[in-house]
């Protein structure tokens, strides 16, 4: 029973990062209606930013998260203004090729600057643990989950309790209608893309502590974020939460209870995407 509870807790803590990454991607898809293949590379930039600030300045990742959020918001806004804005009315294939090109560019820039080796942020409290209800929990994992939880609560309060959030939902539902009632659509798109990029940047800081920073780390999280928003339904922000928990718990139980589960867990998101698509296709055929 203890092993089951520890596995459940490990999956629950991991779901925080998944929800953070997937919420940003869902914001891009739901509000701007663009599939951003470079979302994971924004996470990668945040991870390297965290590693650089820790290595050069000794900055704690909790402070790096603030710097990463601001930097990635600015980077996301600049990306929207210089590239995304100009393909909003273009065919979806053009939009996907553009974001895929941004993804490849950022990956290769990281390879040129940092090489292919992984970089880890080792804080003084890296190996510490706390005991809750008789279960030992890594302090960094707990802090990462709580930070992700605070940001997600803030995001959902913004979306459903603020004027900006109402404007985003109006633009997401009907762009032309929003323009007719006087909303500055491009300003809202820019803010939404900046927030999505900032969420990815903060997730990158957490990944640099819990895992590592590397030029390829973003691809893994992009794929998992796509799996989550497919399960939740494209643009469904609230569905992202339960889908993130489902993916993280599935991976944790596969790792624990299936032989060689560590390798097999990386394929769980493919199975979940496949099962979701088959289930929806079967319901649509009735």
Q: Cα separation of 148 and 254, whole Å? A: 24
pLDDT digits (tens, 9 = 90+) for 243-252: 999 999 999 9
Q: What is the pLDDT of residues 250-271, one digit of tens each?
A: 999 988 888 877 777 778 878 8
What average pLDDT does this structure show over 146-169?
Answer: 92
pLDDT average, residue stretch 193-200:
96
Cα 58 to Cα 119: distance, rounded to the nearest angstrom: 15
Residue 97: which residues within 8 A CB-CB, separation 6 or more? none
Q: What's the whole-number mean pLDDT along residues 77-83?
A: 95
Please state the separation of Cα 101 from the chain's center in Å.
19
Give the pLDDT of residue 285.
Answer: 58
Instruction: Report the percent of the chain where pLDDT is more than 70.
Output: 98
Q: For residue 115, what are the CA distances in angstroms to 107, 188, 278? A: 10, 37, 40
Confidence check: pLDDT of 195 > 90: yes
Task: Yes or no: say if 24 and 152 are a contact pair by the CB < 8 Å rule.
Answer: no
- What confidence tens digit (pLDDT) does each residue in 121-142 have? 988 888 888 887 778 888 999 9
Query: What mean pLDDT is predicted for residues 270-278?
Result: 82
Residue 284 has pLDDT above 70, yes or no: no
Q: Find the range with the poorest average confidence among 211-215, 226-230, 272-276.
A: 272-276
Percent of the chain surpassing pLDDT 90: 63
- Please compute the mean of the pLDDT values over residues 89-112 and round it to a whole number: 93
CB atoms within 10 A of CB 135: 14
Helix 217-232 vs helix 39-57: crossing angle, to nearest 10: 140
pLDDT in tens, 103-113: 999 999 999 99
Asked if the model's pLDDT at residue 174 lies above 80, the reply is: yes
Mean pLDDT over each residue of the chain, to the nearest integer: 90
pTM of whole model > 0.85?
A: yes
Q: What is the pLDDT of residue 2?
A: 79
For 68, the token pair is: 């990463």
Strand partners, 26: none
Rounded to whole angstroms, how far apart are CA atoms 158 and 138? 30
Task: Write the burial class of residue 30 (CB in 10 Å: 0-12 exposed, 13-18 middle, 19+ buried).
Answer: buried
Task: Average the pLDDT over 21-43 and give the result.
Answer: 92
Q: Quick one: DSSP state of residue 30?
A: I
Residue with tokens 């794929």: 223
> If you average pLDDT over residues 149-159, what whole number do you get?
93
pLDDT at 5 over 80: yes
> What's residue 17's pLDDT?
93
Confidence grade of residue 235 (pLDDT, cut at 50, 70, 90): low
């Amino acid at each position: 029973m203890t092993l089951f509870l520890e596995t459940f807790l490990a999956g629950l803590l991991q779901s925080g990062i998944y929800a953070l990454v997937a919420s940003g991607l869902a914001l891009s898809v739901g509000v701007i209606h663009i599939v951003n293949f470079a979302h994971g590379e924004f996470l990668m930039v945040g991870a390297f930013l965290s590693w650089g600030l820790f290595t050069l300045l000794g900055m704690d990742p909790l402070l790096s998260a603030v710097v990463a959020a601001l930097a990635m918001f600015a980077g996301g806004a600049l990306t929207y203004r210089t590239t995304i804005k100009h393909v909003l009315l273009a065919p979806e294939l053009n939009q996907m090729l553009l974001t895929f090109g941004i993804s490849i560019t950022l990956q290769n820039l990281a390879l040129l600057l940092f090489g292919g080796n992984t970089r880890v942020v080792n804080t003084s409290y890296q190996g510490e643990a706390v005991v809750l209800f008789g279960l030992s929990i890594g302090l960094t994992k707990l802090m990462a989950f709580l930070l992700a939880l605070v940001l997600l609560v803030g995001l959902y309060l913004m979306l459903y309790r603020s004027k900006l959030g109402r404007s985003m939902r109006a633009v997401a539902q009907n762009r032309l209608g929003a323009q007719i009632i006087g909303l500055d659509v491009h300003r809202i798109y820019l803010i939404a893309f900046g927030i999505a990029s900032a969420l990815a940047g903060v997730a990158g800081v957490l990944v640099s502590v819990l895992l590592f920073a590397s030029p390829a780390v973003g691809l893994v999280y992009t794929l998992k974020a796509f799996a989550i928003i497919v399960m939740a339904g494209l643009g469904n922000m609230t569905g992202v939460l339960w889908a993130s928990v489902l993916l993280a718990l599935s991976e944790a139980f596969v790792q624990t209870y299936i032989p060689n589960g560590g390798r097999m867990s990386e394929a769980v998101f493919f199975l979940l995407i496949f099962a979701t698509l088959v289930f929806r296709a079967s319901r649509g055929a009735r």
